[in-house]
Amino acid sequence: MSATIESIRDDFAFLEEWEDKYRYVIELGEALPAFPEAARDAEHKVPGCVSQVWLVSDRGDGADPVITFLGDSDAHIVRGLVAIMLALFSGRRASEIMAEDAEGLMRSLGLDEHLTPQRANGLRSMVKRIKQDAQVALAENV
């Protein structure tokens, strides 16, 4: 994925209208890498999301492994939110993932005020799943 969390923050700061920000979120989702069809199953589905969201993690080696994530959704805006979460978390060490404040990011982008309660809950479920994967990675490598 080419968008970094820093570039996403900068782009959000540049865009003034929420219609433009929503369009940008959708564009972020469209830029996600292809998601493997075989992973569109119950094991990879994120519970608590109204839209379908799937998440795959790949853990590196070591006591504090780097974890990369792939994700997808069947809804355009949610797919863009997946892209934002992947920009925030993917490719980072498990300890960094555990320490990251995703809620703070959402507030800084203004998304906390502009998402429906269902989408916000789904986003929290996705963050919970990502952090659970990081926690398991840390616990298994102690």
Tell me if residue 127 is catalytic: no
Calpha distance 25→122 (Å, rounded): 16
* The one catalytic residue among 25, 49, 53, 82: 49
**Residue 84: per-residue pLDDT:** 95
Pick the CATH number of 5-140 from 3.40.50.620, 3.40.50.2300, 3.50.50.60, 3.90.1010.10: 3.90.1010.10
Calpha distance 138→98 (Å, rounded): 10
**Residue 122: per-residue pLDDT:** 84
Residues in the chain: 142
- Asked if pLDDT for residue 140 goes beyond 90, the answer is no
- Asked if pLDDT for residue 98 goes beyond 80, the answer is yes
Calpha distance 96→68 (Å, rounded): 12
Cα 98 to chain centroid, rounded:
14
- Residue 101's pLDDT band (boundaries 50, 70, 90)? very high
